[in-house]
Each structure stands twice: as C-alpha cells, then as structure tokens.
Structure 1
C-alpha cells in the first residue's frame, strides 16, 4: 500500500507510526506510573490518618457517635469502629459507615494487622483502610475516590491528546528530514532524467561525506567514464573518417581516370599508365582493408579478456617473424627467444607482435637489423623487446606512440594508419600486460611488451 506514496511521504508516515507507537507506550507507562503513585500516596495518607484516629478519642464508641460528619471532610471520609463479632458503630450509623467486609473483620479479630482495599457504596468508589484499635476492635476508615478518579480520567484524556500532537509533529518533522536527507537522491534522479533526455553528462555537486555523498561521487565517476567513452567514440569516428578520406580520394581519382579513358573519343591511355593506375588502386584497396581491420579490432571491448587457452609465446613470435620476413626486403632480424607459456588469445597476440615487427621494419634503413629479445623479468612475467636502427622516437612523442591515430611529424609521410601500436597496447591490456617505448642502444626505437605467464614446467601459483 505504501508503494503508491513517494519515498519522502513513506518516511514521514513511518516516522509518524513509530512516534505513535512510542507515544502509546510512553502514555500507558506514564498513566500506570501516575496512577500507582497517586494510589500509593492516597493509601499512605489514609493509613496514617486511620492509625492516628485509632490512637485518639475516636477509638471510643461514645466519642465517635458524638462527632458530626462535617468534621470528617463533608462526607468524603467515613469512620466506623468494628467489633470482632461484626457489629459496627459510626457517627450516623449506616449512613456514615464505610464499606465493611471480610478483610476488615480479620483485622478486628486480630487475624491481620491492617487491610487496604477498594470498595463501593451505591456505586461510589471508596478506598477502605482498617487498623487495629484495641483488643477485638478495628477502626475502619474509607475515603471517596471520585476526586482521584477524576484526576486520573483527565490524565487519561490528556496524554493521548498530547500524544496526537507529538505524532503530528513527528510526521511533519519526518517529512522535513526526509526532504533534506533525500535532496541528494533528488539531484541524482534529476541528473539521470537529464542524461536520458539530453545526454548532458555534467557532474552533480557533492555535499557532505555520508553514504549519499559517496553515491553521488560514484555516480559522477560513472558520468565521467561515460563522457570519456563518448568522447573516445567521437574521436575514433572523426579520426577514422580522416584516415579513410585520403585512400578513398586517391582511389576515386584513379577510377575516374580509367573511366574517362574508356569513353568514346577519349585519348587512349598507354598500357604502362593503365597498369600503374591499377597497381595504385590495388595498393589503396589493401590500405583500406588494413585500416578497416584495424578499426574493427579497436572497436572491440577494451575490458581484459578472460581466456583459458594455453599459448606458447615463443611459437607466436616465430610465426610473426616468418610472416614479416616475406615483406621485409633486405632488413635482417636478430631474434633471441625463451620458452614462455601464458593463458590468452593466440591470434590477438600474434597480431600485436606482427605490428611491433612491421613498425620496426618500416623505420629500419636498407640493410638494417631488427633485434627481437625475450627475457623473463621474474618467475611470472616476460618482456618482449623489439629494437630497430631507424631515427628513433622524439622525446615528446614517447608517451603518445601507442595512442590511436597518433603519428609523429616525421611519420606523416610514411605509410600506415596510426593504429598498429594502439592495437598492441589494447592486446597487452586484455592480457593484463603493459607496453612502453624508449630508445634503443643504437639510437633507434625500442618498443617493449610485458606479458604474464610462466616458464614451461614451472608450477603456477596454487597449482600441483
């Protein structure tokens, strides 16, 4: 039923219900406590008055019969002398006698020192006390309870009224506290609705350091991650469009030349020029295919890949070396490999190693040597280094060579899309590894790929 109300209203209602329960319990406890104290005080006073009367001349039946009722408090007090045989004597006989029953007879007969009870006369409640007033006699004193019950009745009405006021105040206070406490939640709700409606990813102001503040901080981090992802997507699309435009424009020009040469009356295109244009078109198609493949690879999820396929990294590097040697021309390779096994994606790892080797070949001079070294860093990680004898990487370009579409100034005239090294970093991250760039001992570029794993025969952590 409460689901139909807002969270703020539910908190206010629950606060009012809790306050109502507390008020009921406190009111009941207060009423019982006050009632007990009033009756205890009444009994004490009545008992003291009865003892004092029993020790005074009122214990004499002759004296008691001569005292008018007005002396006893205008009828609020009734006194009688009760004999052990059950006969009682009071100032006006039965009219001024208190209620007398078994407990009072027990006191007159010496079976009890005193008695206290509540009785009634003509539906009028009395508090009756009996004390011994000599051998075989008891003085019985009764006091009307009407004034006391009136006080208790007023108290019984007053406490719930005060409680209702307290419940109302608690409900209003609960709503006010809920409104203040849920203000961050309202901001989160508004931000979520704003993001859904407009795509606006501005962060939400954070107040305080409580759970709601931490929730707001987490939400802002999510917004920041989403904004970074959107910016990355926009940049990828913009960079991809820029990189695709050049080969497409060149291909379009070549195709237009071929089409123009085939028109009736057009000058004949020499076979050598036609062959050169077709070779150009073929190279542009290859460039586009490579670029599209790189884009597809980079468009995959960047989260670390969980795989369970053992991969021999040495075999992966050897296959990549065989492939790159076919197109490396007179560039030589000096490879030093060590056995190494890891859990991962063999195809992706080979693509990453091939990109490192292709980059080294591209920058190596004619007759240069590409050095490939594998060496364990410790028992559970290996380092693959690829060094060339080219001009090297400028100091300001070192932190960015693995960024998507990043190309240094001297690389803008070289073939390539600027995606190869970005793919290397992505594969490394997926395999819980890392990449970095530096300078080789001979002045060329040094690209390093660190991967986890183990030497063959070494037992992994937790293995048998």
Structure 2
C-alpha cells in the first residue's frame, strides 16, 4: 500500500513541469517549517503557562496550608479563597476518611483518588487537569494540611490530637489559558497560511527567474533543430545554468567545426574526384571514337587502357581515403593487441614491390600497442609510400639501378621514416597533414593529398602523435609516436 501510494505520488510529480515542482517544493518546505515552529511554539507556551500556574497554586496552597484550618458542621471557618490571595479559585479540604469540606457559598473543587492519596499521606503534592460541568477545565492542586473539626463550636483547637491530616485542594479555571492558547493557535495558523502562500509566490518568482536561462537554452536547441544554424547563445552570470549554457555553446562550436570539416571534405573530394573522372571519360571517349574509325594500334590501345586502369586505381585509393577520413570517429572500437613491428614489416613488403629501385635501411624492434591493425597498417603504408615517392627523382633512370634511400627505424614505439628527396619547404611544413593539401613540388606527382592526413588521423585515434621536419642531411623525416600497450586503456 505504501509502495503504491509512493509510486502514485512520483507519477504525479513527474507530470508536473520543473517550474511547478520548484514552486510546490518551496511551498511544502516553508509549510513544514512553519508547522514545526508553530507546534513547538504552541507546546512551549502551553507548558510554560501550565508550569507558571502550577507554581503559583502550589506556592499559595502550601503557604495557606500552614495556617489553622478549622471546620464546623462541614464548612470551613474563617478560611476562604482570600487566604490564598486569589478570588477566582475553588477551595476545599479532603480529609483522610474521605470527607469533603468547603465553604457553603461556593463550589467544591474536584476531589478524587489523587487528592485522597495526599490526605492519607500517600503522596506529597498532586497536580492535574480535570473537566467539569459546561466544559470548564480546572487545574487542581492538592497539598498536605492539618484540620480541626469543631462540632462543639469551639473556636480553637489547642490539643495536638485535635488536628487530623487532610489535603488542601485548590482548583483554578483554565478558561484564560485556553482562550490565550486558542487565540495563539489562530494566529499561528494565519501566519503559517500566509507563510505558505508567500513561499509559493516567492518560489514561483524564483523558478521563473532561475529557469529563464533554461528556457533560452531550450529555445536555442529548438532553433538549431529547426534551422540547423549553430549560433551560440548569449551567457549572463557564472552559475550552474550559465555553465550549462557554456557547455551547450562548446557543443555547438564542436558541431560547427565538424560540419565545417565535412563541408570542406565534400568540397575538396568533389574537386579531387573530378580529375580522375575527367581523365577516364576522356580516354574512354578517345577509345570509342578510335573504334568508330577502325581502331587504334595495339600498343596505343594498350597504353590507353593502362592509363584508364591507373586512373581507376587512383580513384579507388581516393575513395578509400575519403571513406576513412569521413568516419571521424572519436576513438578506436574493438581495439586489439598488435605487434607494431609486424605492421611495419607488412607495409614494407607492399611498398617495396611498388618501388623496386630504392634502397631500404630498416631497423625494427618489437613494440606492442592496442589499436586497429587495419588503420595502423594503412597509416604506415602511407608514410612509406610518401617516402618512396619523393626519394625517386622525376628524371630517374628506369634500368633498375637504386636511385634513392629510405631509412626506417622503430624503437620504443617511435617510428621514424626518412626519405632522400628534396625535403619540405618551410612554408609547407605546418600544412603537410591537412586534407588535400599539396605543395607546389607535389602537384606534379601522383596523389590526392590525403595520405598524410590519414596518418595524422590514425595517430590521434591511437593516442599518439605525428610530426614532420627536414632531416639534418637531406630529405624529409616523419616521426610517428604511439603509446605502449601497458599504458593504453582498452
């Protein structure tokens, strides 16, 4: 039952807006605080008033009990409420044998078992609240006393044996206290109600003011979803909501950068794809026209087909590079333990076939890493292809003699590839890893300008880095650093 009730309340609260929940929370919190304070104040005042009344009645009754209490024919003699200095009390004597004695012109106070216990010396002082006729409440106090009955009419009782134990009982109406507490309760209820209403109003104002930045943030998100405009929202202040807005702006900036990269990638890709496609179309048109005129010589036809095939290979490589870069994933998925030396050796086998007229100075040490073997293999192959391409002069002889040297070193996770080409111009060094960037010297050579961009992409994905510089002797030197598998998180 409790669980179902709690679930019902949770369901109702979840249906409320955050604004309504803040307002309700403020009202409930203040209401509970006012209720606790009111109850504490009411109980404290009530207890203090009762304590003061008890002390007053007890002191006066004890003082009066020291006087001589004489009774005659069931009435008190020369002993009335004025003996206690009070005129609004009921006064009586309760004897040990159960006799009730009082003034004939006034009501007797309530006298029952607790007061009889005092008369019989079984209790010292009793204090209690009792109800009487017409709903009047009395505070009744009984203290020990001695009385002397005068059935013969003597005014004094001189013999000690004439005095008998009894209880002097006094009772005072609680109407003034009840009225005061009633008025106090009304005031506390009124103040509590006003406090809850004020808290609800203040909570509503605070919610409206505090949630206004969230409303702007929500509006900005809806605007982005509707228009795809990644404009940052203005920020005022430095509170939690402002920091949330700053995070939102950072996300928008990241999305804008990613969108800009994608746009540039698409634009550059379109430009780069146009060249091989145009070349292929031109060669195919020439082949078709030649077939209409009787055909080409076998050697010319073969040269034309080889050119088309080379353009197709270039187009295939370009599409593969574009696919790899377009992923733009933040981290490697399904990483596995890889021996980097095996990756470098496999890449060397591939590149050596394509560059048989180069010398290779290779020194490789084992080094384990966590990562994507396919992506790392493509990156290393691109580095070696780049070194091979620039180590062969454009006017190199084709008789198979070595025309260049490529140095490859893998030590402690650092792969260094140094070619024997002309090096990199100082103006081009900061841009060699950008997508589709090609220096003026590289434009005359085959390539799309994506190879080194893929190397940088692979290095970043594996938590490493890549940088380029000119070797001390001659040629360009590329250094790829990767963290050891023991230091990488899987």
Shorter-chain TM-score tier: 0.7 to 0.9
Aligned to 1:282: 309
Deviation at 1:315, TM superposition (A): 4.2
Q: Are residues 305 and 115 of structure 1, via their aligned partners in 2, closer, same or farther at CA, if it must alter by over 3 Å?
A: closer
Which residue number in structure 1 is paired with residue 38 of structure 2?
Answer: 27
3-state SS in 1 of match to 2:44: helix
For 1:131, what is the secondary structure of its paired residue? strand
Judge conservation of contact 1:69–1:96 (CA < 8 Å) in 2. no
Residue pairs, 1:125-204, within 5 angstroms: 125-134=137-146, 135-136=163-164, 137-204=166-233
Matched, 1:324 2:351: yes
Choose which of 221, 224, 230 in structure 1 pairs with 2:250: 221
Q: 1:405 to 1:85 in 2, by over 3 A?
A: same
Partner of 1:457: none
How many residue pairs end up in the alignment? Answer: 448
Maintained 8 Å contact 1:334/1:369 = no
Of 372, 381, 389 in structure 2, the residue corresponding to residue 362 of structure 1 is: 389
Q: Per-residue displacement from partner, 1:359-388 (whole Å, max 9, x unpaired)?
A: 122222235423223242xxxx32222222
Match of 2:89 among 62, 68, 77: 77
The alpha-carbon distance between structure 1 residues 411 and 150, as it changes in their structure 2 partners (threshold 3 A), is same
Return the offset for 1:244.
1.1
Residue 56 of structure 2 is matched in structure 1 by: 45
| 1:324-371 deviation digits (Å, cap 9, x = unpaired) | 334336443333333444444444333222222221222222354232
Residues 144 and 323 (structure 1), Cα distance of their counterparts in 2 relative to 1, 3 Å cut = closer
Of stretches 250-259 and 22-31 in structure 1, the one that deviates more from structure 2 is 250-259
The answer to whether residue 455 in structure 2 is matched with residue 448 in structure 1 is no
**2:433 aligned with 1:421:** no
Which residue of structure 1 lines up, in the alignment, with residue 409 of structure 2?
374
- Shift, 1:311, TM fit: 4.3
SS at match of 1:395: coil
2:378 to 328, 351, 357: 351
RMSD: 3.4
Of 235-244 and 335-344, deviating more is 335-344
Structure 1 residue 152: Cα displacement: 1.9
1:404 to 404, 424, 435: 435
Match of 1:236 in 2: 265
Q: 1 CA distance for matches of 2:301 and 2:113?
A: 137
C-alpha separation in 1, matches of 2:115 and 2:334: 96
* Alpha-carbon separation, structure 2, partners of 1:316 and 1:78: 110
Contact 2:276/2:315 (<8 A) preserved: yes
TM-score, scaled relative to structure 1: 0.83
Partner of 1:23, secondary structure, is helix
Structure 2 residue aligned with 1:92: 104
Matched position secondary structure for 1:409 = coil
Structure 1 residue 99, shift from structure 2 partner: 2.4
Q: How far apart are the structure 2 equivalents of 1:419 and 1:225? A: 23
Contact kept, 8 Å, 1:11 with 1:175, in 2: the verdict is yes
C-alpha separation in 1, matches of 2:114 and 2:466: 102
Unaligned runs of 5+ in 2: 1-11, 147-162, 397-401
Deviations 1:197-218 (A, max 9, x none): 2223233445555544444443
3-state SS, counterpart of residue 482 of structure 2: strand
Checking the alignment, whether the CA contact within 8 Å between 1:81 and 1:138 is kept in structure 2 is yes
Match of 1:45, SS state, is helix
CA spacing shift, 1:132–1:461, aligned 2, 3 Å = closer
Identify which range, 387-396 or 297-306, moves more after superposition: 297-306
Partner of 2:319: 292
The answer as to whether partners of 1:356 and 1:424 remain within 8 angstroms in 2 is yes
Q: Distance in 1 between matches of 2:296 and 2:364?
A: 51
Contact 1:370 1:386 in 2 (8 A): no
Structure 1 unaligned residues grouped into runs of 5+: 455-459
Cα distance in 1 for partners of 2:329, 2:107 equals 102
CA distance in 2, matches of 1:316, 1:6: 57
Q: State the shift of 1:86 in Å.
A: 4.2
User: In 2 relative to 1, CA 52–329 (structure 1 residues): closer, same or farther, beyond 3 Å?
Assistant: closer
CA–CA separation in structure 2 for the residues paired with 1:200 and 1:173: 37
